[in-house]
Chains A and B, each alone.
Chain A
Amino acid sequence: MTSGEDERSEPSERASGEAASREVDIPEVTEVSGTGIPVRGNDIDTDQIIPARFMKVVTFDGLGEFAFFDKRFTDEDEAKDHPFNEDRFRDANVLVVNSNFGCGSSREHAPQALMRWGIDAIVGESFAEIFAGNCLALGIPTVTADAETVEAIQDWVAANPDGELDIDVAAETVTYGETTVDVAVDEAQRKALVEGIWDTTALMKSNTEAIRETAASLPYVESSESWVADD
């Protein structure tokens, strides 16, 4: 049922790689290449991407097989028509969607499920904000183009399931077949991906003194002298 779960190392593996310093290796994401999978429709919400009942877990492990679950299976567990069920898209890693994709809840379970199914990048007309932010935190680009361009890519992918797509995050282009189109990547997202600074924990933690000063300047943050004293 799942594919590509091994293609991308899980955060836990990334994190445990350098146990001594516990530093996290954050790869630069300048380009994503692979084959595509189209999921058509506007306003595809996070409840569709990962139904809430699969969120009764304390880790993200194994969520990949539940991506789009209720769109893919009947109550009797029979497969329905859905791109995520089609063999020809089994190895795809570039998802192509329409407008307002990922609207609804803030659940990171949604991009986590897609990532663990095998998705490394998403091309769409537009994305809900929290969803796009969650993708960025996982190093997944969410690049945008107008409706016509996106539909053309979807049509091409449907006709060429083995055809290679190339998303150049730095240059803001998508190439499929002989065609290269301009796409947009949010400026902060582009910089974060290209420079490998999309995991912000260590980056922000290094500003301890400035954090302390900001906290001390706020009238409602009490006893700010007592905190991070042990830091």
Chain B
Amino acid sequence: MSSGTLYDKVWDRHKVTTLPNGQDQLFVGLHLIHEVTSPQAFGMLRERDIDVARPDLTHATVDHIVPTADQSRPLGDDAAEEMMSELEANVRDAGIDFSDPTTGDQGIVHVIGPEQGLTQPGTTIVCGDSHTATHGAFGALAFGIGTSQIRDVLATQTVAMEKQKVRKIEVTGELGEGVTAKDIILTIIRRLGTDGGVGYVYEYAGEAIENLDMEGRMSICNMSIEGGARAGYVNPDETTYEWLAETDEFSDSEGRSPSDSRTMSGDEPERFEKMKQYWKSIRSEETAEYDDVVTIDGSEIEPTVTWGTTPGQGIGISESIPHPEELPEDKQDTARSSQDHMEVEPGESMEGYDIDVAFLGSCTNARLPDLRAAAEIVRGRQVDESVRAMVVPGSQRVKAAAEAEGLDEVFREAGFDWREAGCSMCLGMNDDQLEGDERSASSSNRNFVGRQGSKDGRTVLMSPEMVAAAAVTGEVTDVRDLPTAEVEA
């Protein structure tokens, strides 16, 4: 039984009571909703004649079904238009803030929460989306819920949960050249398995994690669920507080932030300091006890790609695809069918695997630093003629910020499509889909069969930099072989 961890502290502070079934009833500090998993919950509330308890602690966006090419209304896809209209009606009736596409604040739910300062340390955050753990990067306790639970949260601002065990995953050392947060989390999932985290919350710690920026931490927490853990978090620190100071929540109307408190108006600096004390107080103690501790040497991690159809089937770019019989017995059948689907041979490398599509997007890797890093690889190069390549920024704000830096031009000149914000080809609920048995180099989070919209499609997960490298060469490529300086001449 863990004690003194951030998880224990945040849980205790939000616990309302223990329910007769033994689960705890937890208060929810922030409920994020989107168009796919919430309409049925609003329907259930209407059937039961229950109002939304705390619209002020609820925030909506639209991301899964929005087109990334033409967003004019009505949307071209009738089903998408119906979902959009339903969400609009629900948030209007309940008085819920909605970052819709006309606001300039729309985007993937796990991108807009943090960038608007809604995501804060020591809070509880739920959303009908399994990648909600993303918000754990700020030291929030954040997890995905199903639609019946969304109904519960809308009705009561609480959720019924069983407390879980805490596994500390310590990533030591310094990351090598070309190695990113994405490579860390793919390595963790490979090591601990896609179901290794069931029953656990993951605390990511250690030098390699602490040295990451907030966006890198978000990429890691985002894929906790791919390792079976419903939630994952990083203890908040100065990197977290500096990031928060710049958000809408804490900067004033002139855009001044508490990091320069002397020039700020109003009581914002005071409020920020008060919150900072709270944020510090919920950090895991030095003496905290964990149910399990795993240590991974970050300096040994390579740029990592998947060779199969589960996120746990990853290898370093210089390694060979495993022979199924070398794997644990319960993983062998899955490995065989995965290799069959992907058309890869054990013993070979993933380097040189031909790709047809390069997708740079998703709640895992479509934030500004992701786009910057990919643009550096792309700059001065051309997308291979056999590849269709697209960038789908995580939010309208990310898109605007990238455009202000001219990144859109870099991508366009190289031959990438530069799109509007949304989930897009991560799960293919809009028009952005693989066709037939196309192979995709993707910065997203799932390589399941059929995930990107075609049941014969094939997905290779990798970092944004590696997607950029694959886009320009037409095959899976070690990004370290594409030095950014070389193309300056």
Contacts and interface: CB of A to CB of B under 8 A. Distances in A.
A113 to B, nearest CB: 13
A150 B61 CA distance: 42
A1 B384 CA distance: 45
A201 B50 contact: yes
Contact of B195 (A128, A220, A227): A128
B259 to A, nearest CB: 19
Contacts of A108: 37, 40, 128, 146-148
A207 B429 contact: no
Contacts of B22: 187-188, 191
Contacts of B80: 56
A152 interface: no
B156 A201 contact: yes
A217 to B, nearest CB: 7
Contacts of B13: 217-218
A31 B356 CA distance: 51
B43 A22 contact: no
Nearest to B90: A58
A205 B156 contact: yes
Contacts of B460: none
A133 B15 CA distance: 19
A175 interface: no
A133 B148 CA distance: 10
Interface stretch (A47-55, A154-162, A163-171): A47-55
A210 B129 CA distance: 27
Nearest to A138: B148
B399 interface: no
A147 B450 contact: no
Interface string A191-231: 11001011111011101001100110111110100011001
B228 A107 contact: no
Contacts, number: 222
Contact of A219 (B130, B162, B274, B429): B274
B114 interface: no
B93 interface: no
A192 B160 CA distance: 11
A219 B278 CA distance: 7
Contacts of A192: 21, 23
A44 to B, nearest CB: 10
B27 interface: yes
Contacts of B480: none
A128 B198 contact: yes
B278 A126 contact: no
Contacts of B157: 211, 215
Contact of B152 (A51, A111, A204): A204
B258 to A, nearest CB: 15
Interface residues of A, number: 71
B330 A147 contact: yes
A59 B48 CA distance: 16
Interface in A54-106: 55-60, 70, 75, 99-100, 103-106
Interface in A98-147: 99-100, 103-108, 111-112, 126-130, 133-134, 137-138, 147
Interface stretch (B51-59, B235-243, B315-323, B466-474): B51-59
Contact of B453 (A53, A112, A191): A53
Given A42-B333, A42-B334, A58-B40, A204 B25 contact: yes
A47 B337 CA distance: 16
A223 B47 CA distance: 29
A79 to B, nearest CB: 15
A103 B228 CA distance: 7
Interface string B12-42: 0111110111110101010000001101100
A172 interface: no
B50 A128 contact: no
B246 interface: no
Interface of B: 13-17, 19-23, 25, 27, 29, 36-37, 39-40, 43-44, 47-50, 53-54, 56-57, 65, 77, 79-80, 82-83, 86, 120, 122-123, 128-130, 132, 144-149, 151-152, 155-158, 160, 162, 194-195, 198-199, 225, 228, 230, 274-275, 278, 310, 330-331, 333-334, 337, 427-429, 446, 448-451, 453, 455
10 contacts: A43-B334, A52-B453, A56-B79, A58-B83, A105-B129, A106-B130, A191-B20, A199-B148, A204-B25, A219-B278
The 4 closest A-B pairs by CB, nearest first: A137-B148, A134-B146, A108-B146, A106-B144
